Chains A and B, each alone.
Chain A
Amino acid sequence: MEVLELILLILATVLFPGVVFCTYYALFLEWVDRKFFARLQNRVGPWITGPKGILQPIADIIKLLAKEDITPNGVDRAGFVGAPFFALTLALFSLMFVPIASTSGILSFKGDLLIVLFISTVFGIIIIFAGYVSASRFSIVGTARAGLQFVGYEIPLFVSAIIPALIARSLTLKEIVEWQIAHYPLILCFPAMIAFGIFIVCSLAKLEKLPFDIPEAETEIVAGWATEFSGKKLALFRLSTDLKMLLLAGLATALFLGGPAPWGFTLPADLNPYLAALIYSIWFVIKTIIVVLIMSTLKAAFARYRIDQALRGFWRYLTPLSLAILILTPIVAYHFYW
């Protein structure tokens, strides 16, 4: 490998579209979410820091980093300190697979969709772990709820993410995106549009947003599994939640909305690669914002469910529905898409 290529790869990993871009963009998405959610509720939302409060999420993180960092007595020290780092590292690592500035992510190999989904499952386990080691009553109840919710949403989420792979006949994100560029975004295909809905609902559950913020329902169990975390650790968890939102929005974009490719026209093959990267990134931003706005709207329209009601919903409706689509997809795809 040439030296220049190596430097470019390092720059891509660290700066764009790697760690730095993803972090700031995730914080920006949090602002979009908060502002839009607030406007739906007839509030103004973040307002003071920066123009229209755009710097508020960054200010929150900086404030938390400056706060006293408490490790309560009786917690499992190694686990308690390690859990936020695990969460953040895994979120950043899985973002390396999401196509942002080109049709493939920074890392890309055959079957990488599976590894992204696998890592997203580990998030749930880290949350359970973090709550379990913090040895607080509210954390224990929150953890039990997180675990229960986890077994609810994980299967429909997986199945709905596999359906685009079935239609595009590949488990590689790059090839799914390229299939969509060659044909049409998968959200326009019949079974995949239902899968998109399931994916969004399960994403809300995975991000612990309303109406599925049951594991951290503040009016019931303070902050649930995150009750004991403060200062830097809480900042890392907050950041990893934002990154998770970016990951899920990015996955939804790559799987259903045609990835970072523009709608309506295809880029010529001999285009300057830097210009192409810019266009791809702009379309990625537009599409992820659309996904986040859909999530915010759903958040504003529901009351929080109780854990038993949420689980019943997942097992009685979403799981059978997603499995039914899974069976239906090859039949439909055989006739129309392959």
Chain B
Amino acid sequence: MSEERMFRIPVGPQHPALKEPINFTFIVDGERVVDVKPRIGYNHRGIEKLMESKTYIQGLYLIERICGICSAAHQGCYAQNIEEAAGIEAPPRGVYLRTLIWELERIHSHLLWVGVAYHEIGFDTLFMYVWRDRERVMDILEMISGNRVNYAMNTIGGVRRDVTPEIVDNALKALDYLEERTKYYKKVTEEDDSILARTVNVGILKTEDAKRLCAVGPTARASGLKVDVRRDDPYGAYDELDFDVVVYDTCDLTARVLVRIDEVLESIKMCRQILQNLPSGPVRVKFKRKVPEGESISKVEAPRGEDLHYVKANGTEKPERYKVRAPTLANIPSVCEMLKGGYIADIPIVFAGIDPCIACTDRMLFIDVNTERKWMWTEEELRMYARKWYKKHLKEVVRERWKC
């Protein structure tokens, strides 16, 4: 059967399974998926451009709003980046607290994802249980930072708030509870037949494909690639912490669930080490609003994978260029590979398997598929192009619209 005659199912930009706007066109043959065409760009908010008109301190709060779930990863990465460019160094207690927030965020993000994964395969009971337990880690975050989602904890030169001994005690207690529950979810995922029926050998991404398509984060680690910025290029306090990089080599969805559950356990371990060995001293140093001319790159391991920030400073209070490469963008080619050859019923869980964050992903990047030329446009250029294009194609467009 030729491709034109096959059945096309649009999924997104609005769809109950995908909470964020992204569009996939699935070409299906019965229940089988033959081909996948992703289309991103529904959620472009112009944050990178907006960064250029904000001072470095204002930028902290804007960069946090790239993504609600990995807000600390983005903000911490930004703070780290500007510190490097400005040549200042955060004090050890500040670095430890920053790392603590990163790891707590990883726990909450991974638990959220595990719940969503159970929901996608229709196991709502477990979904509700996981999210109930996730409230405990949200409580710790609220205790430490005062916020549940956008913590606003980092600042350039350290963190904004300190922890008291009572907070440490309460957090350690909540971590014990979380560890016990997480172990239970691991047991359920490994043993429940109806979960295994939906996850074993589903959404295969072979190790060599993961390497070729540059998968990052838990997606890569579930395909047997031992990549983790925390281990490969230590930042924050990670070189002083004792932790394992979790790798599974079954390359399927079960591996992706188990990688995340195991990482939650590793994160709990790290949080305990941090809380028990907090160095004393100040939590931040002063930052003199201006950054000397130069460039800098910073990487952190966000819950979803490697998050890369680039800044070009020109000696003023504002950056000349700021660029963010969030992990989901790197995983989109991998997820298309996973979806091919699967069933329609597996689309939501496989897509959810990379823990997608479309808000992080969308960029104004144009790619001409024929010449493979890539370019970026400013708003004005885009407007000019649009005007020209409409002048040329007006008649066709009008005809097309009236026909419908």
Which segment of B81-89, B90-98, B255-263, B342-350 sits at the interface?
Answer: B342-350
The interface stretch among A47-55, A215-223, A263-271, A326-334 is: A215-223
Does residue B17 face the partner (Cβ distance < 8 Å to A)? yes
24 contacts between A and B (CB under 8 A): A41-B124, A42-B128, A42-B132, A137-B8, A138-B9, A141-B28, A144-B30, A211-B194, A214-B345, A217-B122, A217-B345, A219-B119, A219-B120, A219-B348, A220-B347, A301-B125, A303-B121, A303-B195, A305-B194, A305-B197, A305-B198, A306-B198, A306-B345, A307-B31
What is the 8 Å Cβ interface bit string for chain A, positions 195-233, against chain B (1 contact, 0 not)? 000000000000000110110011111100000000000
Chain B residue numbers with a CB within 8 Å of A307 are 31, 343, 345
What residues make up the interface of A, taking CB atoms closer than 8 Å to B?
40-43, 137-138, 140-141, 144, 210-211, 213-214, 217-222, 300-309
Task: Give the complex CA separation of A140 and B28 in angstroms.
Answer: 12
Find residues 208-253 in chain B having any chain A CB closer than 8 Å to their own CB.
Answer: none
Q: How far is the CA of A304 from the CA of B126 in the complex (A)?
A: 12
Top-7 shortest CB links A-B: A304-B122, A303-B123, A219-B17, A41-B128, A303-B194, A219-B348, A306-B345
A303 CB contacts on chain B under 8 angstroms: 118, 121-123, 126, 192, 194-195, 197-198
Interface centre among A211, A304, A308 (most CB of B within 10 A): A304
- Given that A42-B129, A210-B124, A301-B125 are contacting pairs, would A220 and B7 also be in contact in the complex, using a CB cutoff of 8 Å? no
CA distance A144 to B28 in the complex (A): 13
User: In the complex, which of the residues A42, A144, A304 contacts B198, with contact meaning CB atoms closer than 8 Å?
Assistant: A304
- Contact assessment for A141 and B128 in the assembled complex, using a CB-CB cutoff below 8 Å: no
Interchain CB contact under 8 A, A220 and B344: yes
In contact, A218 and B16 (Cβ under 8 angstroms): yes
Q: Specify the chain A residue showing the minimal Cβ separation from B16.
A: A218
Residue of B nearest to A41 (CB): B128
Residues of B contacting A219 with CB < 8 Å? 16-17, 119-120, 122, 348
**Taking the complex as formed, is B187 at the interface, i.e. its CB lies under 8 A from any CB of chain A?**
no
In the assembled complex, the CB of A258 is this many whole angstroms from the nearest CB of chain B, namely 31
Residues of chain A contacted by B16 (CB below 8 angstroms): 218-219, 222
Closest to B199 in A: A303
B15 at the interface (CB under 8 A from A): yes
Least CB separation from A218: chain B residue: B16
CA distance A210 to B28 in the complex (A): 25
Return B190 CB to nearest CB of chain A, in Å.
14
